Chains A and B, each alone.
Chain A
């Protein structure tokens, strides 16, 4: 059987991939972590019924789920867009041998259905449905309702496939979700009501399971057609030619002296490659991190957590970009190492870039003044901490990172975890704990303002000793040089 043969190739690709045999210990740890989260999900699923009954005794928990299914549906699409790894088969060698194109495509599509993203919802749905049955809901209805939702999850899977290359579709979904949430929140128009009615109806009429089946079938064949159309390496070749090169004059940056070449290069690195662009977008989202904490009353009495959140508001880019220095340059690291490059200038350039991003984030975070000067003071202190200390911790953890980056390939979930680095995690700890401590200790013994001041001063101190830190990190670069070169050139 041909499918069996393709499956075998897939298996070999998996087991022979780099780092598969490395670090069994880490793998076990991660497995335990995954089981832990799965268990939490399941407990949540099982407990949701009782929880809902207690909080909203007049509403049927099932109806509650039905009402909000639409939000979960749209939100999971966004998550999938960012994180779900679309299946990639190296088609070139398969095209020239006698396997029917259709077989390969069916296989490819089939492969997407085994994604963890299709199983996560089950962790909630399954225990929830069991509890429903336990509470004497009619079994036929529950089972078919469950099936309908499962089919929708699978449809979601295919929709993600269809929109994956299409940013407009993605942004429309984001805006639709935003719109619905907004309208719902301000009670202008509750989309949950009509959608809830539809799903309640599906629950009442088990035969309506036919609707999601039809939806899934239509989606399957449209995806199939889409892939079939693009199943030639023509596309790969043409694609290369059409890309527009944007040349921006960056000569004004020459004022930065000896680190100018690196800075200019980093700007190009970020603007011309998929992965760094993704990081910039993610770090923009960090700006809103504070909203979760500042609006939640539970945290109002836990200022240490607020300090932690404040550091994140301005530190998104700093941390997500910085922890991958020098891996950003991994594709041409050998060249950099044999060129006339002083590490110090290289590091200073990255530091300047990161701290500039903190400054920009800080300016963008001015609207947080809405939550009062105390909160804003915290954000300001957090920004100083980011510039003065966090920048160096981040660069330090980056120096220990040995995973190369494919610049023009978006990062997806469940990828790149093979070479998980324990030292790196340990180095990352101060980033989280230190700001909390620096704030909390003086806050506890003196006052809130003393806490802010300490956090801010720690950052200033870091800036004063900047050269000391850079020298230390430079030493690590030198010490790790050969290991880093070897690790970065492994994937070529």
Chain B
């Protein structure tokens, strides 16, 4: 479970994020949408303790994120390509992450079989370093690596961007299966309103760092979001 209280992040004199209160219960599939500069990535960076909050705090399963590192064993994420180690092959990268998460080589091999569809024969046994893969394939590898070791919290920043249509659909299926089991909390941000309403049971809209909408997903949600974003003034 994630608790956010009075959280704010300021750079120089502009406030890029200010969330008074937000609770994400365990097992929820949580979507974050917002235009560029809304504060989505800032929020994820704070959640991963990559930047310091100017004010307030985030608690991840009762652990204060910016004070203790004990949230790391059960939290995993893929924010951007800088989460990949370019000079490793995809397998080597999975094994490396596996070792960090106490998964043996065989466990990882078994784990990877369920992603055959997503990999589409373009990732494994390719004898290529990750840095030489296409952007889309890099992303696939990064997302799958975030699933290693049954993390209780998975954070994915724009997982659908750069993926080909087939993979987008397969990834959606995968995420849905994952969230149906209710074992992991999944946090996703996206610019694609359709995808995010398909995958997430709850959607929060950020605008210029503020939480402006908190919706429980229903059939009307997509329409509601589309209306919201056609009215918002473009920054």
Contacts and interface: CB of A to CB of B under 8 A. Distances in A.
Interface of A: 240-241, 243-245, 247, 260-261, 264-265, 268-269, 272-273, 331-335, 337-341, 407-408, 482, 485-486, 489, 492
Given A331-B82, A331-B86, A489-B82, A340 B129 contact: no
A337 B100 contact: no
A344 to B, nearest CB: 12
B73 interface: yes
B52 A272 contact: no
Contact of A341 (B80, B100, B128, B132): B100
Contacts, number: 81
A485 B96 contact: no
A339 B79 contact: no
Interface in B126-170: 127-129, 131-132
Contact of B51 (A333, A339, A482): A482
Q: How large is the interface on B (under 10, 10 to 19, 20 to 34, 35 or more residues)?
A: 20 to 34
Given A243-B129, A492-B80, 20 more contacts: A245-B127, A261-B96, A264-B96, A268-B87, A269-B87, A272-B87, A273-B87, A331-B85, A334-B50, A335-B82, A335-B85, A338-B48, A338-B72, A338-B75, A339-B97, A341-B72, A407-B87, A408-B87, A408-B131, A485-B50
19 contacts: A243-B129, A243-B132, A245-B127, A261-B99, A332-B85, A333-B82, A334-B48, A334-B82, A335-B84, A338-B75, A339-B72, A339-B100, A340-B72, A340-B100, A407-B87, A482-B51, A482-B52, A485-B51, A486-B51
A332 B82 contact: yes
A375 B128 CA distance: 48
Contacts of B88: 265, 268
- 9 closest A-B pairs by CB: A335-B83, A261-B99, A338-B48, A272-B87, A245-B127, A340-B72, A340-B73, A240-B132, A332-B85
Given A245-B127, A261-B99, A332 B50 contact: no
Contact of B96 (A243, A265, A273, A333): A265
Contacts of A261: 96, 99-100
Contacts of A486: 51
B89 interface: yes
Contacts of A331: 82, 85-86
Most chain-A CB neighbours within 10 Å: which of B83, B87, B128?
A: B87
Interface of B: 48-52, 72-73, 75-77, 79-80, 82-89, 92, 96-97, 99-101, 127-129, 131-132
A245 B129 contact: yes
Contacts of A333: 82
B93 to A, nearest CB: 10
Contacts of A260: 99
Most chain-B CB neighbours within 10 Å: which of A245, A273, A485?
A: A245
Contacts of B72: 338-341
A265 B48 CA distance: 23
Nearest to A245: B127
Most chain-B CB neighbours within 10 Å: which of A332, A333, A335?
A: A335
A492 B75 CA distance: 24
B100 A268 contact: no
A337 B82 CA distance: 12
Contacts of A408: 86-87, 131
A475 B229 CA distance: 46
A13 to B, nearest CB: 23
B87 A337 contact: no
B129 A272 contact: yes
Nearest to A240: B132
A408 B51 CA distance: 27
Contact of A268 (B48, B50, B51, B92): B92
B17 to A, nearest CB: 16
A332 B83 CA distance: 5
Contacts of B100: 261, 339-341
B89 A340 contact: no
